[in-house]
Structure 1
Amino acid sequence: MVSLPVSRDALRAQLWPLPALGVVLAAAAGVGLPRLDARIQHRIPPSLEAYLFGGGAGAARTVLESIAGSLMTVTALTFSLTVVTLQLASSQFSPRLLRTFNRDRYVQTTLALFLATFTYTLTVLRTVRTEAVGQPLFVPQLSVTVAFLLALASVLALVGFLSHLARKIRVETMLRDVHIDAEDTIRRNLAEADSAAAGFTAPPQPPAHALPLPAKTSGFLVTVHEKALLAAAVEADAVILIDRSPGSSLIAGTPVGAAWPRNGEPFTTGTRHRLVRRTADALTTGVERTHQQDLGLGLRQLTDVAVRALSPGVNDPTTAIHALSHSSALLCELAKRDPRPRLLTDDHGRIRVVLQRPTLTELLDLVVAQPLRYGAADPAVLARILTLLRELAWHSPPGQHPAIVDALARVRSAVAAQDLHPGERAELASISEGVEQALIGQWPFTTP
């Protein structure tokens, strides 16, 4: 079962749909405009005709052939630059950033314009006729003029594309784009903690005889279709628990949740089969993680960039620190949201579906564990991780503090194991104390 938002997101992450649409529209325009030219050829006002193409059939063919040839060269250059950029992003930063590049509307629009201009020009070229052919002379003035304008627009788009590409491959731009996508995912899928706290009831726990719900296909869990799950639970008079959140890796036939009858009566054989099938259909898997419902994808991408920057082959701790700064902002945003399982109820207010979400402990471990392991020898990286914990402690409610305390203990252990300068060790100790103070609502300021 693939929903419209999932299909739309999948198409947006592909390079070909917009260029393909441009080619189709250009072919239609290349057929329709010459016909319009033939109808209005002798009725064009002289004031307007002065701005249209005024050459003969030979000149029209030369112009159209020149535009078509040059546009194919420019399109090949654009594709080459795009491929080089994707390769750079994959090898230098993270292969999980390629989806961000593929979603870039500017790149897709530029390729669509180039291919549309090429297709339109070739289509119009076939309509230009000379008297030597034995047919009436026909020069589609309006169509050739449009081709000329499209060529000018393509030249301007090429200049803009090069400028956009130079800005796009900067690590600051990539980190910003990941941050924006992740923040949008958080806001779409998590409610504010204050608004969600009222009326919350503890989710039911599955009994020992609960029916296992296996995954239908292997891959990453992309989306969970809540309405389909709720309908399946109501039809079977059951309660469904899905204990895998979007972004998790599923294996076909392996349980991803459980279901049990609400009234305690065992399921019939037919009900069991339908419930297993409908639940499996409500879970969409894919070959890669997406931002549709995956709360941890943005943090995973940022952590990948940080870890790659800390590798001996790159040795760029500044980039790692920038990535950790973005991760800190996202974690602070998550701390303001309701982290508890999502409960779906029927028309009578009875809990029917329980959807697990990644906890702050899991997400914090995702952000801290690998940078701490690979950047433990760099005091600047250690200081940024401790500052991240301090910032998160300031924004987190008391219920989230144990996760921060555990992470703080891990960082302190890593600091103690390093051979650091006494001044660096003292600075890290000061930041560690700042984390403890933030946990109790205090933020001392340093005076010069």
Structure 2
Amino acid sequence: MDKYSGSWRQLLNRFWFIPAVCVVTAVVLAQAVVAVDRWLPEGLNSPWVVWVYAVGIDGSRAMLGAIGGSMLAVAATAFSITISVVATASSTYGPRLVRNFMADRGNQIVLGVLVSTFIYTLLVLRTIRSASDDLAQPFVPHLAVNLAVLFAVADVALVVYFIHHIADSVQVDTLVLGARKHLLEAIDRWHPKEPPEELDRTAAGRGGGGVITPGKVGYIVYVNFHRLRDLAVAEDVLVELVPRVGDHVLVKEPLFRVWPEHRAEELAQPLRRCVRLSDARSADQDVRFAEQQVVELAVRALSPSTNDPYTAVNAIQEVAAGIVSAVSRPLPGNTVVVDGVDRLRYGVVEVEEIVDMPFDQIRPHATGHVSVLLAVIDLAARIEVATVHPSVQRQVREHIDVLLDQFRDSAPHPRDLARVEHHARSRSAG
């Protein structure tokens, strides 16, 4: 499982974090470059000035003012464009994909650099002194002013990139590929090709145990399994995480069970700190939510208001990558065994659940679209060929039987029915 705390991942996904880092960097850079300018020899005839573009006091002030004002205006425009794209994506593709826009590194970096350029020019501008100022002798930070010009040129290129990036980010292909990436990452985390030696697969947990409640309401979005394992070993106890990642828990519902039972109270706070709850689910460790994002694209595309079967077919083809990876690997372990002793037990998402989701959620909306039905049949055939679990083969055959029965009940045109049935037979035979 993931060795790193989910707090850093959550912080990096905050829309404000990278812009805030850029602003702090701009403040430090402005002070540092101006300090270097004060240290260098003064005067326009100094040897070092030959290597930079020397601008007078009034020219420097006008240039910095123009750069700062224009960058702030461009940053405001870029922010408005981002909000508009987020609103469009939320209404078209689903609100759960909005988080992908907010966590997009390209958008964060562009806004951060534009705002930090404004901060940089503002701080450099305040250091310029003329002969009429009574505060100090005349001073123009030539190096800092020239650096501001370079930032302005770079910002123009960044704006061009932003326009391309924001236009590309709302394309269906980009959204589906991003959702598929999250699904594959979650599958690799929970269904590795080579499970760790200390991870075993056991039957349902024993009864009893000391109960530890979460103390608040929310979705389980991150669990530090390594910390839980180390804590269980150090305290010589067996810990069971009752809900799975992605489950919604209430204040008084069981979060952990601990054996021996009397150790539960003293371990309540350390164990709670290993679990992070949130008001919304996250695809970082939640296989079901990661898969749901891809499936939701297909379901929304088949809604009467959208009526886009081609997007649905694309989503079905992409979700196949994650499902095939899961069914072609060993069953996931659910118990950490250290020196022959069970130390940590938790629930996992079984391959049957991963296989069921696209069929159960897409099938009710697919009967009116032959192309989507053919894509679902192809999905079943891919799973049947790739799986190493005989139960999954039987499972997908049952799904195809249900799909064909539902399609026949919808009174399709005989040509469409013959086409779908022929495709099902040919793919099953292959």
Task: Name the residue aligned to 1:167.
Answer: 168
Q: In structure 2, what is the equivalent of residue 247 of structure 1?
A: 246
Residue in structure 2 matched with residue 146 of structure 1 by the alignment: 147
> Does residue 393 in structure 1 map to residue 393 in structure 2?
no
Alpha-carbon distance in 1 for matches of 2:56, 2:43: 18
Q: Distance in 2 between matches of 1:50 and 1:198?
A: 66
**CA pair 47-391 structure 1, distance change in 2 beyond 3 A:** farther
| Structure 1 CA distance for aligned equivalents of residues 386 and 347 of structure 2 | 23
**Aligned residue identity for 2:238:** V
- In the alignment, the residues of structure 2 paired with residue 77 and residue 355 of structure 1 have an alpha-carbon distance, to the nearest angstrom, of 47
Q: Distance in 2 between matches of 1:370 and 1:158?
A: 40
Give 1:384 shift: 1.1
Matches within 5 A, 1:225-304: 225-234=224-233, 237-256=236-255, 258-261=257-260, 267-268=261-262, 271-304=263-296
Q: Does 1:415 align with 2:407?
A: yes
Classify 1:215/1:181 alpha carbon distance in 2 versus 1 (closer, same or farther; 3 Å).
same
Shift of 1:313: 1.1
Shift of 1:146: 0.5
SS at match of 2:353: helix
Conserved? CA contact 2:200–2:334, under 8 Å: no
Letter in structure 1 aligned against 2:59: A
Residues 1:118 and 2:110 are matched in the alignment:
no
Contact 2:327 2:351 in 1 (8 A): yes
SS of 2:140's equivalent in the other structure is coil
1:377 pairs with 368, 389, 392, which one?
368
Q: Identity percentage over the alignment?
A: 24
Deviations along 1:352-373, whole A, 9 cap, x unmatched?
Answer: 2222211122222222222211
* CA separation of 1:85 and 1:250: change in aligned 2, threshold 3 A: same
Q: 1:141 to 1:401 in 2, by over 3 A?
A: same
How do 1:32-181 residues align onto structure 2 when only pairs under 5 Å count? 32-42=32-42, 49-134=49-134, 135-181=136-182
- Of 369-378 and 119-128, deviating more is 369-378
Q: 1:353 aligns with which of 337, 344, 348?
A: 344
- The residue type paired with residue 226 of structure 2 is K
Output the CA distance in 1 between the equivalents of 2:402 and 2:47: 79
RMSD, matched Cα: 2.5
- Secondary structure of residue in 1 paired with 2:348: coil
- SS state of the match for residue 133, structure 1? coil
The Cα shift of 1:132 comes to 1.4
Q: CA–CA distance in 1 between the matches of 2:92 and 2:375?
A: 22
Amino acid at match of 1:422: P
CA deviation vs aligned residue, 1:332-381 (integer Å, no higher than 9, x gap): 011123333422012x2222222221112222222222221122221111
Moved more, 123-132 or 238-247: 238-247
Separation in 2, partners of 1:189, 1:331: 12
Q: Aligned AA for 1:171?
A: V
CA distance in 2, matches of 1:299, 1:203: 25
Using the alignment, how far apart are the partners of 2:196 and 2:10 within structure 1? 34
Which deviates more, 337-346 or 142-151? Answer: 337-346
Scaled by the length of structure 2, the TM-score of the pair is 0.91
Q: CA deviation at 1:43?
A: 8.2
Shift of 1:276: 4.7
Rounded to whole Å, the distance in 2 between the matches of 1:276 and 1:399 is 39
Q: Distance in 2 between matches of 1:76 and 1:197?
A: 49
Partner amino acid, structure 2, of 1:108: Q
Gaps of 5+ in 1: 262-266, 438-442, 444-448
Distance 1:403 1:219, change over 3 A: farther
* Whole-angstrom CA distance in 2 between matches of 1:252 and 1:124: 53
SS state at 2:331 partner: coil
CA–CA distance in structure 2, aligned partners of residues 253 and 435 of structure 1: 50
**Distance in 1 separating the partners of 2:343 and 2:427:** 40
Identify unmatched segments of 5+ residues in structure 2.
Answer: none
- 2:396 match: secondary structure: helix
